[in-house]
Amino acid sequence: MAVILANRQFTAHVSPHPWPRDAHGTPIAPAPGSVPAGNSRPLPGSAIKQQDGTWSLRVDPTLWPLRVGDRIVATTNESWTVDTARLCAVAGHTAADYIAVTATLDPPEVP
């Protein structure tokens, strides 16, 4: 297992959760282009592009909860949309806790 060091500063733009639901109980996503407010300050994290074109992010656990559709923005002006997020807690070592995020770069890279 490799250690992934922080290589960026992230801000999370988290949509209100849970999303409102329609008459059938289906969640209604926010309007396209709407940008929720970000957290108070950038926090350390890392981003690594995977071979399949998705991105693997490691995010500070104080940004939890993150959900599908939330945005992670780096101080480098890169932005990702969260596909999955999982809080990873290391028993007895809270300084090593992180959020494992699979995300899509927004806008996507053009080859």
pLDDT attached to residue 38: 58
pLDDT attached to residue 40: 57
- What tokens does 16 get? 């209100």
Total number of residues shown for the chain = 111
95 belongs to a structural domain:
yes
pLDDT attached to residue 83: 92
Say what the pTM is.
0.72
- Average pLDDT along the chain, 111 residues, taken 10 residues at a time: 72 70 69 59 88 91 87 89 91 88 85 66
Cα within 13 Å of Cα(107), Cβ side:
3
- CA-atom Rg of the chain in angstroms: 15
pLDDT attached to residue 57: 94
- How many folded domains does the chain comprise? 1
110 belongs to a structural domain:
yes
pLDDT attached to residue 102: 94
CATH number at 83 reads 2.40.10
**Distance of alpha carbon 15 from alpha carbon 38, whole angstroms:** 10
Domain range for 89 is 8-13+42-111
pLDDT attached to residue 106: 85
